Amino acid sequence: MNISIIGLGLLGGSFALGLKAKGAPVTILGVDSNPRHASQALAGKIADQILSLPEAVAKADVVVLATPVNTILQQLPEVLDMLPAGAALLDFGSTKEQLCAAVATHPKRGQFVATHPIAGTEYSGPEAAFASLLEGKTMIICEREKSDPAALAVVEQLCHTLDMQMRYMPAAEHDLHFAYVSHLSHISSFALGLTVLDKEKNEKNIFDMAGSGFSSTVRLAKSSPQMWGPIFTQNRQNVSEALAGYIAQLQQFKEAIDARDEEQTKEMMAKANEIRRILG
Amino acid sequence: MNISIIGLGLLGGSFALGLKAKGAPVTILGVDSNPRHASQALAGKIADQILSLPEAVAKADVVVLATPVNTILQQLPEVLDMLPAGAALLDFGSTKEQLCAAVATHPKRGQFVATHPIAGTEYSGPEAAFASLLEGKTMIICEREKSDPAALAVVEQLCHTLDMQMRYMPAAEHDLHFAYVSHLSHISSFALGLTVLDKEKNEKNIFDMAGSGFSSTVRLAKSSPQMWGPIFTQNRQNVSEALAGYIAQLQQFKEAIDARDEEQTKEMMAKANEIRRILG
C-alpha cells in the first residue's frame, strides 16, 4: 500500500514510523516543501521516497495531509481534485470545521476522511517523530457520514494497526471541545512563558529556581508558532470564548487574593481539584 | 541525631525518607495534627516515633517545620521559644518574607535557618512522600547572615547528604521570584481546570479528548488548597502583580486572535519559544 504523507513533521513522521514498526506492508511516499526536512525524513526511514505533491498523490492509495492547518485548508481541495479513484485522503489538522466546509460540496468528498489524532509533543519536524507517538491514542473522525464506507474502512484499519481508539463527532463539536482541552492549554502556556521571561531578565534565576511544576505548565510554550497560529485563526470564535472564560477565572482568583479572601481561593482550588477524577 | 519533623506530608516525609535512604544516622520524631497522617508516617517508616510538638522539640537536634505556611507562621515563634540551646530550626515554606519577619527580633533568631526546597508534586500527605524527591534539587536559604554558623552548618550538611544544591538570597527576592516561577503556574493550572470543568459537563469528553498537553498544563490543579491558599495570602502582592501580567498577556493573545492578526500571535509565540533556552 502506497501512503503519501504531505508534511513530514512530528505527526506525519510518527504515523509512518508507527505503521512500519507494526510491520504494516506500506511504502511511504513523502512530500515536504522544506528540503532539509525531506532529507531528514529519508535519513530517518520515515519516507521511502521523496516526491513532488502531484507525483505522490498520483501514486497513492492513501494520502495524509499533515501540514499546518492553513496549508491543509489550501491543499485539501487541490489534492482531492487530483486524488485517484479508490484512494482515501485524510488530514491530521487540529481544527475540523473549516476544513470540512472547504470540501463540503466537492464531488469527491466521500474519499476524504476528516481525522484528528490526539497526540503530540511540544517539538516539531521529522527529527521529533517517533514510532510510538500514536500508539494507543484516540483518533477523532468528524463527519463520518460524509465519507465513503471504503475510505472510512481504510483509515480505520490503519488506526487499528496503531492500536488507536476511534471516536466520532460532528466537526463543530470537535472544534468547540478542542478549544478548551487543547488550544486553551497552549495559549495558557505561551502566555505563562511570556510573563516569566518578561519579569525574569536573569535566566539563571529561572533555571535554578523553577521546579517541575513550572516546567510542566510552561512546556507547551515551546510549541511551533507556524503550526499554532493557523489553528487559533481557524478556531477563532471558540478559542476566544475559552480564553474569555479563562481570563475571568484568573480575575476571580486575583480579586480573591487582593481581598485576602482565602476562603474564596480555597473554594476555587477545591473545585479545580475535581480534575483529579478526570486525569486520574 | 534527632530530627523532629512537624508536618509529615509530602516534603517533610520525603526529607525523612531521603536521609534514611542515604544511611544518615538519624532518628525521626514525627508530629502531625492529623492522627491518620501520623499513623501512615509510622507505617511508611517516615517517623520512628510520634510525639506531641513540645516533646518532639525538647528532644530535637534539628526541628523541621513542614506544615502549610499559615501554620508555620504561627508555629515558628512558638517553636523557637522552646527550642533547646544548640538545636537548629528550619522550615519548608514556599514563602519566606513574612516568616522571616515573624522572628526577626526573636532572641533565638540565630538558631533558625529559613529554607525552601525546590521540589514537590501535585500530591500531598505522607503517602505521597518518596525518598528521592529532594535528591539533586535546589535548597534556597534566605537571610543566611541572620543564622548562626553552627545552625547553618547543620542544615547545609543535611542538604549535602541529599545531594541538594544550595542557593542564598534575600527573603523579599525569593518571594518575588517564586510568585513568577511557581505560584503563578499553580494559579494558571487551577484556573485552567476550572474553565474546562465549567464548560465540559461531560467528563468522558474531557478524558477521551485531552491529550498529554492538557494533562501537563492542568496537572498542578490537583494541588492542595490547604497548602496553596496560605501561600497566595502571604505572597499576596507579588502574586497579584504576576497574575496581572499574565492576564495582560492573555488579553493580548485574545485581541490578536479576535482581530485575526496571525502575525501578532505568531510573534508572541516565537518570543515565548525562548523558554526553550531555559528549560532545555
pLDDT digits (tens, 9 = 90+) for A153-192: 999 999 999 999 999 999 999 999 999 999 999 999 999 9
Instruction: Round to whole Å and give the CA distance between A262 and B229.
Output: 6
pLDDT, tens only, A6-29 = 999 999 999 999 999 999 999 999
Would you state the pLDDT for residue B204?
A: 72
Of A216, A243, A265, the CB nearest to B229: A265
Instruction: Round to whole Å and give the CA distance between A15 and A11.
Output: 6
The size of chain A, in residues, is 280
Q: Which residue has the cell 519536524?
A: A125
For chain A, give me the number of helices (H) and strands (E)? 14, 8
Measured over the CA atoms of residue B233, residue A195, residue B276 and residue B96, the dihedral's sign is negative
Q: Is B267 buried (19+), middle (13-18) or exposed (0-12) by CB count in 10 A? A: middle
State the cell numbers at B246. 499574565
The whole-number mean pLDDT for each consecutive block of 10 residues of chain B, a chain of 280 residues, reads: 97 98 98 97 98 98 98 98 98 98 98 96 94 96 98 98 96 96 96 92 73 89 95 97 98 98 97 86
Name every chain B residue with its beta carbon within 8 A of the beta carbon of A137.
211
Residue A268, chain B, CB below 8 Å: the answer is yes
The CA-CA-CA angle for residues B83, B49, B20, to 5°, reads 90
| DSSP class of A142 | E
Beta strands in chain A (DSSP E): 2-6, 27-31, 49-50, 62-65, 88-91, 112-117, 138-142, 165-169
Percent share of chain A, pLDDT over 90: 90
Instruction: Round to whole Å and give the CA distance between A123 and B87.
Output: 50
Name every chain B residue with its beta carbon within 8 A of the beta carbon of A184.
192, 195-196
A60 neighbors A31 (Cβ within 8 angstroms): no
Name every chain A residue with its beta carbon within 8 A of the beta carbon of B170.
none
β-bridge mates for residue A29, sequence order? A4, A49
Written as one letter, the residue type at A163 is D
Report the residue of B95, B202, B209 to disrupt the A interface, i.e. the one with the largest count of A CBs within 10 Å. Answer: B209
Of B137, B230, B262, the CB nearest to A229: B262
Q: Is the per-residue pLDDT at A280 higher than 70? A: no
The CA-CA-CA angle for residues B30, B55, B109, to 5°, reads 90
Query: Cβ contact (<8 Å) for B119 and A214?
Result: no
The interface predicted TM-score of the complex, written ipTM, equals 0.93
Name every chain B residue with its beta carbon within 8 A of the beta carbon of A233.
257, 260, 262, 265
Residue A201, chain B, CB below 8 Å: the answer is no
Measured over the CA atoms of residue B152, residue B67, residue B32 and residue B9, the dihedral's sign is negative
pLDDT, tens only, A124-163 = 999 999 999 999 999 999 999 999 999 999 999 999 999 9
| DSSP class of A112 | E
Query: B184-199 and B225-234 are packed helices; what angle lies between their axes, rounded to 10 degrees?
Result: 130
Percent share of chain A, pLDDT over 70: 99
β-bridge mates for residue B89, sequence order? B63, B112
Calculate how close chain B gets to A205, using CA atoms only, in Å. Answer: 8
Report the residue of B71, B194, B240 to disrupt the A interface, i.e. the one with the largest count of A CBs within 10 Å. Answer: B194
Name every chain B residue with its beta carbon within 8 A of the beta carbon of A218.
185, 275, 279
Quick one: closest CA in B to A236, which residue?
Answer: B257
State the cell numbers at B199. 464548560
User: Taking the CB of residue A193, how many other CB atoms lie within 10 A of it?
Assistant: 28
Query: Cβ contact (<8 Å) for A203 and B276?
Result: no
Query: Cβ contact (<8 Å) for A266 and B226?
Result: yes
β-bridge mates for residue B62, sequence order? B3, B88
Residue A94, chain B, CB below 8 Å: the answer is no
pLDDT, tens only, B118-150 = 998 889 999 999 999 999 999 999 999 999 999
Domains of chain B: 2-169 (3.40.50.720), 174-279 (1.10.3660.10)
Instruction: Round to whole Å and give the CA distance between B84 and B82.
Output: 6
Residue A228, chain B, CB below 8 Å: the answer is yes
Alpha carbon separation from B169 to A21, B144, B176, B221 (Å, rounded): 51, 8, 11, 29
Would you state the pLDDT for residue B280?
A: 64
Query: Cβ contact (<8 Å) for A200 and B181?
Result: yes
Residues 123-162 of A with CB under 8 A from B: 137-138, 140
What lies within 8 Å, CB to CB, of A55 at 6+ separation is A29
Instruction: Round to whole Å and give the CA distance between A89 and B174.
Output: 55
Residue B85, chain A, CB below 8 Å: the answer is no
Count Cα neighbours of A246 within 13 Å in the Cβ-side half-sphere.
34
Report residue A81: phi and psi, to 5°. -55, -45
Q: Which residue has the cell 498542578?
A: B220
B196 neighbors A279 (Cβ within 8 angstroms): no
